[in-house]
Amino acid sequence: MKSLIRASIVVAGLCTAGITICSAVNVDTSNSGGTIRSGRLWYDTAGHVINAHGGGIMYHEGTYWWYGEHKVYGSQGNRAHVGIHVYSSTDLVTWRDRGIALPVADAPLRQGMSTSEKTPDSDICDGCVMERPKVIFCPKTGKFSMFFHLELKGQGYRAARTGIAVADKPEGPFKFLRSFRPNGQMSRDMTLFVDNDGKAYHIFASEENKTAHVDELTDDFLDYTGKSVRIMIDESTEGIGICRHGGKYWLIGSGCTGWAPNTARLYVADRIIGPYKRLGNPCRGTNPINNTGPELTWGGQSTFLLPIHGTDRVIAMFDIWNPKNHEESRYVWLPVDFSGEMPTISWLDEWKP
Ligand code: GAL
């Protein structure tokens, strides 16, 4: 049985997205041993490489849902030709492919979608850029809200918009509602956060990525109340992930160097709206796969902070981008150690969440 599974993984690797034989040999995957192995190929339960970059994870009723950018082959592979991919898991190691939660508008129709959602002049048409999707559940409406960074087709990264979509189920299909600049402000790298009091916030790199904004959402989690606060002023922080731990708000981010790695930075605040105090680089140790140390975030960029449900543990998620071939980008997931004076994140070749 084991050899059958291995064989199918190799075949899938070869015929899906330009995976080389060399990579396919590396099938001692995360999910086979019950451990997370950062920087290595990570296969889903069907034996295909997980394609969910710049991702965010929502925990809902016993299941984790991983939403991410579906990247394709080549240097232009950051353009959205498929949409937002979603996977589900109960153990954070074994992920099942649940399909495309939000397809680009002129992708093949899925059950439940109307032809009007297939129009090529949609904001989310084939060739636009859809990045850093995040999904939160709204208890008031019983629906799931997806926010993502949207760049319109043919405009590079100039549009700096937020796209919003909604679904009745975590796996979708999500219905695209609209895109715009929140409260009239530029929005690129982003995350969503629901606070203990039930209020939701959209946190995004704004003002040409120099300053981030924390914008409060309306109680249907689909619009803005107009309350907006500027944080990390003139610090050019992106790749933003936020979690609450020990009564404080922890924010991880990167500098602003496109797909190239730079030094991560950690911030702490007493309230979600800040002010955020900069603490320095939480990363430790070296990634032996690319021989890159903590000063360059092991070759990666922060993307999300994930609290493990029912525990006080948090996973820090990063992407190792490959701008020459976007679908060859890799994931780094490591535990955050809150035991010292300042939280740290140390490289581990392999670990169990
Ligand atoms: C990065 C950003 C990525 C992507 C990239 C494009 O700084 O974090 O999500 O937008 O720039 O160059």
Task: State the maximum Cα–Cα separation within the chain, in Å, rounded to a whole number.
Answer: 57
Number of domains in the chain: 1
Query: Does residue 351 lie in a domain region?
Result: no
For 31, residues 6+ apart whose C-beta sits below 8 A from its C-beta are 42, 43, 44, 45, 93, 94, 95
Check if 215 has its Cβ closer than 6 Å to any atom of ligand 1: no
CA-nearest residue, atom 6 of ligand 1 = 258
Query: Does residue 103 lie in a domain region?
Result: yes
Q: What local confidence, expressed as pLDDT, does residue 33 receive?
A: 67
Q: How far is the CA of 293 from the centre of ligand 1 (A)?
A: 21
CA 280 to chain CA centroid, Å, is 22
Query: Does residue 244 lie in a domain region?
Result: yes
Q: What local confidence, expressed as pLDDT, does residue 27 receive?
A: 41
Task: Determine the Cα–Cα distance for residues 100 and 326; give it in Å rounded to an integer.
Answer: 18
Q: How far is the CA of 235 from the centre of ligand 1 (A)?
A: 16
Q: What local confidence, expressed as pLDDT, does residue 25 receive?
A: 32
Check if 131 has its Cβ closer than 6 Å to any atom of ligand 1: yes
Q: What local confidence, expressed as pLDDT, does residue 3 receive?
A: 32
Check if 238 has its Cβ closer than 6 Å to any atom of ligand 1: yes
Q: What local confidence, expressed as pLDDT, does residue 14 receive?
A: 31
CA 35 to chain CA centroid, Å, is 20
Q: Are 187 and 157 in contact (CB under 8 A)?
A: no
Q: Are 268 and 247 in contact (CB under 8 A)?
A: no
Query: Does residue 318 lie in a domain region?
Result: yes
For 177, residues 6+ apart whose C-beta sits below 8 A from its C-beta are 164, 165, 166, 222
Task: Determine the Cα–Cα distance for residues 169 and 329; give it in Å rounded to an integer.
Answer: 28
Task: Determine the Cα–Cα distance for residues 156 and 164; give it in Å rounded to an integer.
Answer: 20
β-pairing verdict for 283-284 and 344-346: parallel
Mean pLDDT of successive 10-residue segments in the chain (353 residues)? 32 32 37 83 96 98 98 95 97 97 76 58 91 98 98 95 98 96 98 98 98 98 98 98 98 98 98 98 98 98 98 98 97 97 96 94
Query: Token digits for 202?
Result: 């959209």
Query: Does residue 9 lie in a domain region?
Result: yes
For 203, residues 6+ apart whose C-beta sits below 8 A from its C-beta are 190, 191, 192, 193, 212, 213, 214, 215, 231, 240, 242, 251
> 269: exposed, middle or buried (C-beta count within 10 Å: 0-12, 13-18, 19+)?
middle
Q: What local confidence, expressed as pLDDT, does residue 246 receive?
A: 96
Is-above-0.85 flag for pTM?
yes
Task: Determine the Cα–Cα distance for residues 118 and 176; give it in Å rounded to an integer.
Answer: 11
Query: Does residue 353 lie in a domain region?
Result: no
Check if 258 has its Cβ closer than 6 Å to any atom of ligand 1: yes
Query: Does residue 352 lie in a domain region?
Result: no
* Of 339, 337, 319, 336, nearest in space to 328 by CA: 319
Report the DSSP beta bridge partners of residue 147: 134, 164
Provide the domain limits for residue 119.
Answer: 4-346
Q: How far is the CA of 259 from the centre of ligand 1 (A)?
A: 6
Beta-carbon-side half-sphere exposure of residue 34 (alpha carbons within 13 Å) = 1
Q: What local confidence, expressed as pLDDT, does residue 2 receive?
A: 33
> 239: exposed, middle or buried (C-beta count within 10 Å: 0-12, 13-18, 19+)?
buried
DSSP 139: T
DSSP labels, 12-80: HHHHSS---HHHHH----HHHHTSB-TTS--B-TTSPBP--EEEEEEEETTEEEEEEE---SSTTTTSB
CATH of residue 263: 2.115.10.20
Sign of CA dihedral 93, 56, 344, 243: negative
Q: What local confidence, expressed as pLDDT, does residue 70 receive?
A: 98
Residue among 189, 208, 236, 301 whose CB has most ligand 1 atoms within 8 A, to mutate: 189
Element (H, E) at 9: helix 2-15
At CA 231, angle to CA 229 and CA 235, rounded to 5?
Answer: 150
